[in-house]
């Protein structure tokens, strides 16, 4: 009986089951309309590309974070001057370090031969959408030429890296918790107190009126006072921090989504490290009506009031 039973299983001529025709499971595709086939193919192609992009983004992000963490381990393992020299062995254009408490902004500063390279190259000079934090090619961090305003640029990354968390300075409570930041270069440690936070347009045109927060030189007190008054008018925060002609200023700049060509700017004045803890920030407040670029108003359907 065992032999008979086995034969009934493998003898397809007596089996009650029908062997499927070859490729029957794909028959439905042949019956689809051409437009639907095209749409389906496009969807699949888009899905594949999106998957590759997402995977590439996470892989690049993971590598980027490891690079930043390795740099921090080097920086905090010794004194800042030695650490910067060690880090610059990997890239001679690494010139300093910037740290803002309460944020991920805690890393190297580069200075290239132009203001384009480090937009899409990291601190090791490798191509990267994260870029690197970098000082404008027009500035001298040693301020040997009486440069009164050092500008540092960085990308506004969605994961908060680079200058992705700089816009926290829009928040008054964040400012009060972190009114200062530190800049290291050579054997020096400089402390800066934030005095203005604003939105500007990269097109530098407010109905024909030109305003440059990164202005570095002033011919006289009158020119400085006019610039400083305009700066305070545009600031989102009333910090109460006073700046005088001749003070050293540092300006941090990143992109913003507020309008096309928007730039978010944080400006700070150098203070003695011993005085940093004495800043009176209790009276700091939100500016109820800061001056924005013309495009800010027109993009919201409002009349430019200036």
Q: Per residue in 74-100, pLDDT tens? A: 999 999 999 999 999 999 999 999 999
Is 165 inside a domain boundary?
yes
In sequence order, which ranges of the chain are alpha helices (DSSP H)?
2-10, 27-30, 34-75, 80-88, 172-177, 221-234, 273-276, 294-298
| 15 located within any domain | no
- CA 260 to chain centroid, in Å, comes to 16
The tokens describing 84, both together, are 């910067």
Q: What is the DSSP string of 238-252?
A: E------TT--EEEE
pLDDT tens readout for residues 178-220: 999 999 999 999 999 999 999 999 876 676 677 889 998 899 9
Listed residue (144, 181, 147) closest to 249, CA to CA: 147
Distance CA 102, CA 168 (A): 9
Is residue 135 assigned to a domain?
Answer: yes
Determine what percent of the chain falls in helix, strand and coil, rounding each to the nearest 5: 35, 20, 45
Q: Do the domain assignments include residue 228?
A: yes
Write out pLDDT tens, residues 122-160.
999 999 999 999 999 999 999 988 899 999 999 999 999
Sign of CA dihedral 152, 228, 248, 104: negative
CA angle 281, 284, 286 (to 5 degrees): 155
Place of tokens 């009486």: 146
Is 292 among the domain residues? yes
Give residue 110's pLDDT: 98
Q: Mean pLDDT throughout 171-181?
A: 96
- Does the pLDDT value for residue 251 go beyond 90? yes
What pLDDT sits at residue 209? 72
200 sits in which H/E element: strand 188-201
Over residues 9-68, the pLDDT tens digits come to: 333 333 444 444 455 555 555 565 666 656 656 666 666 555 555 455 556 678 899 999
Given a cut of 60, is residue 285 above it in pLDDT? yes
The reply to whether 253 falls in a domain is yes
| Percentage of the chain lying above the pLDDT 70 cut | 78
Q: Is residue 101 part of a domain?
A: yes
Tell me 189's DSSP state: E
Please report, for the domain that includes residue 224, its CATH number: 2.40.260.10
Question: Would you state the structure tokens that stand for residue 21, as one six-digit string?
Answer: 């025709």
Give the total number of structural domains in the chain. 1
Residue 24 lies in a domain: no
Q: Residues 241, 195: contact at Cβ < 8 Å?
A: yes
Determine the pLDDT at residue 275: 76
Q: In terms of pLDDT, which residue wins out, 298 or 100?
A: 100
CA-CA distance, 151 to 212, in Å (whole number)? 11
Write out the residue range of the structural domain in which residue 222 sits.
Answer: 92-298
């Amino acid at each position: 009986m065992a032999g008979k039973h086995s034969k009934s299983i493998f003898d397809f001529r007596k089996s009650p089951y029908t062997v499927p025709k070859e490729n029957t499971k794909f028959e439905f595709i042949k019956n689809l309309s051409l437009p639907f086939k095209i749409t389906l193919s496009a969807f699949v192609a888009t899905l594949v590309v999106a998957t590759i992009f997402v995977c590439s983004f996470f892989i690049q992000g993971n590598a980027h974070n490891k690079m930043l963490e390795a740099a921090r381990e080097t920086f905090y393992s010794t004194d800042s001057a030695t650490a910067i020299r060690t880090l610059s062995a990997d890239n001679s254009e690494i010139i300093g370090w910037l740290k803002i408490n309460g944020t991920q902004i805690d890393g190297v500063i580069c200075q290239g031969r132009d203001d384009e390279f480090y937009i899409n190259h990291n601190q090791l000079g490798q191509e990267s959408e994260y870029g690197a934090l970098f000082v404008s090619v027009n500035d001298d961090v040693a301020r040997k030429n009486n440069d009164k305003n050092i500008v540092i640029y960085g990308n506004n990354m969605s994961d908060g890296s680079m200058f992705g968390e700089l816009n926290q300075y829009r928040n008054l409570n964040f400012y009060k918790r972190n009114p200062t930041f530190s800049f290291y270069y050579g054997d020096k440690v400089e402390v800066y107190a934030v005095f203005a936070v604003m939105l500007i347009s990269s097109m530098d045109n407010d109905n024909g009126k030109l305003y440059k927060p990164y202005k570095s030189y002033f011919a006289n007190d009158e020119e400085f006072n006019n610039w400083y008054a305009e700066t305070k008018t545009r600031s989102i925060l009333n910090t109460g921090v006073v700046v005088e002609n001749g003070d050293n200023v540092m300006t941090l700049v990143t992109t913003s989504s507020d309008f096309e060509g928007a730039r978010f700017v944080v400006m700070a004045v150098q203070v003695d490290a011993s005085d940093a803890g004495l800043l009176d920030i209790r009276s700091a407040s939100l500016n109820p009506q800061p001056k924005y670029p013309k495009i800010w108003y027109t993009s919201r359907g409002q009349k430019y009031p200036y």
